[in-house]
Amino acid sequence: MRLAQAKGISPEEFRRKHTRSAGTVLLFNGTPNHTGKPSCSLYADGLGCSVHPSRPLACRLFPLGRQIQNGTAQYMHEGSEFPCLKECPEVLELPKLTVEEYLVGQETSAFEQAQDAYLEILQNLADIAFELLLDTGLAASGDTQTLASWRKLGTMDAVAQSKQIPAEWLDLLMIPDLQEHANELLDFVQWHQELLNTKIQELSETFSTLDAVREAAILMMALALFLSHSIGADSKGLSEHWIEIAKSHGAEEK
């Protein structure tokens, strides 16, 4: 939403023109940079990032990564060289900063909080999938199709997963109609959760058979795993983890 607003276009148009992998990754198809690789489609030759104030967290952190394990966030760098030191020697003339000073300068804090809030949405979607499987009688009925579908979803890339999700749900997850909340990141995520909750509630009111419950449990897991691609989580690892938890609560897989 913020990137679309920075470009003066709709989120739908932004997704179409500036992203790949079903909207989960920025598109790099611009003029090749000094390494010969295409630059980001948002990079303006001679000017730099055309959406600089709205640039996403990954760009603010680069060349660092941020990893959350057991509830603790860590900043890291994989490899022994910083690409910007190797490829842009003038970086060496910049003042030396600690990681903490660098992150303050990049104003990462609000973006990190928003990403963590999306991690909670992801977990909430998975929790609903669990409830549908375990608390409705579906697992007790001997169902094995749900976990088989969760496993299959976990092996798919974002594009394949997106094809398992009806367009209205995909748009609700990726381009929610929340333009007025775009400037307050955490506020935006909370409103996004509200929109999802409302639609999930509407869906739950239509259940009349266990087949419908199974379909919803698979959809919730597809949404959770698709969202995991967007926030850089390990989709396959998550699906395997959740399948083991479901099995430990009595669900079966063929």
Q: How far is the CB of 26 from ligand SF4 (least distance, A)?
A: 6
Q: How far is the CB of 78 from ligand SF4 (least distance, A)?
A: 18
Q: Which is nearer to ligand SF4, 6 or 129 (CB)?
A: 6
Task: Please report, as residue ranges, which positions from 5 to 64 form the binding site for ligand SF4 (by CB under 6 A).
Answer: 26, 40, 42-43, 49, 51, 55, 59
Q: Which is nearer to ligand SF4, 41 or 145 (CB)?
A: 41
The length of the chain in residues reads 254
Please state, in angstroms and rounded to a whole number, the distance separating the CA atoms of residues 48 and 39: 10
| Contact of 116 with 66, CB cutoff 8 Å | no
Task: Please report, as residue ranges, which positions from 144 to 173 form the binding site for ligand SF4 (by CB under 6 A).
Answer: none
Q: Which is nearer to ligand SF4, 49 or 203 (CB)?
A: 49
Q: How far is the CB of 111 from ligand SF4 (least distance, A)?
A: 12
Residue 117 in tokens = 């809030």
Please state, in angstroms and rounded to a whole number, the distance separating the CA atoms of residues 76 and 67: 7
| Contact of 139 with 245, CB cutoff 8 Å | no
How many residues lie near ligand SF4 (CB under 6 A)?
8
Q: Which is nearer to ligand SF4, 51 or 251 (CB)?
A: 51
Q: Which is nearer to ligand SF4, 42 or 224 (CB)?
A: 42
| Contact of 191 with 179, CB cutoff 8 Å | no
Nearest to 229 by CA among 4, 8, 17, 21: 21
Site residues for ligand SF4 per CB under 6 A? 26, 40, 42-43, 49, 51, 55, 59
